[in-house]
Amino acid sequence: MSAHRSRRFHPFLVALLLLPAACAEPRETALPAAPSVAAAPTYVIGPGDTLDIFVHLAPDLSATALPVRPDGRLSIPLVPDVQAAGKTPTVLARELETRLRRYVVEPNVTVMVRSFVGAPESQIRVIGEATEPRAMPYREGMTLLDVMITARGLTRYAAGNRAELVRRAGPDGTRTVQRVRLNDLLRDGDMSQDVPMRPGDTLLIPQAWF
């Protein structure tokens, strides 16, 4: 018999020793923080926009498909000539409530933009040989390709590769001119020409020389 006996543990004792580790609560793992989402820019009403104005419990004072006049104003029953351009729908609603308090007890007004063009300084203008030359509202992340899709592409007479993007460069009104090759973008798929747009940009598309 060996001088040193090997130590043996009863299986029941082994189970008791392992039980605390098995029953220990799992460690909490920190979850990665959710990516922050940039706040959407607030829409500002502009001339040419069409609004729906609802006065709660006063349908006679409400108006649908109400256009904002070129002077930036609009009128509803009992409240003529309200300046709308340059304000958000919420700000305009609060102003209408203030004006209506002379006639309605605690008026509740909601302003909804049905169709929009945007304030002049935030519009994108397309001039020249586009299928549908027009002014369009700037949208966050808008690119030159988005503009050309909205303008329905080029006419058959367009010199697309001689188009110019006129951009307001500073608060002093200075402007820069950048050549853009629309034929390469639209016909050849050259995405290097798909430049980001900025509010107030003007795209000039000349006619081809024959």
Place of tokens 């590769």: 161
Residue extents of the structural domains in the chain: 50-115, 120-205
In the chain, how long is the greatest CA-to-CA distance?
A: 114
Which pLDDT score is estimated for 22? 47
The CATH superfamily of 120-205 is Outer membrane lipoprotein wza domain like (3.10.560.10)
Select from 116, 140, 147, 143 the least CA-distant residue to 40: 140
Terminal CA-CA length for the chain: 114
Q: How far is 144 from 99, CA to CA, in rounded Å?
A: 42
Q: How far is 65 from 12, CA to CA, in rounded Å?
A: 82
> pTM of the predicted model, to two decimals?
0.58
Confidence of residue 115 (pLDDT cuts 50, 70, 90): confident
Average pLDDT over residues 182-200: 95
15-33: pLDDT as tens digits? 544 545 444 454 544 444 4
Lowest mean pLDDT among 15-24, 63-72, 150-159: 15-24
124-141: pLDDT as tens digits? 999 999 999 998 888 889
Q: 158: buried, middle or exposed (CB in 10 Å: 19+, 13-18, 0-12)?
A: buried
Q: Give the H/E segment covering residue 20.
A: helix 11-23
Average pLDDT over residues 155-166: 96
- CATH number listed for the domain at residues 50-115: 3.30.1950.10
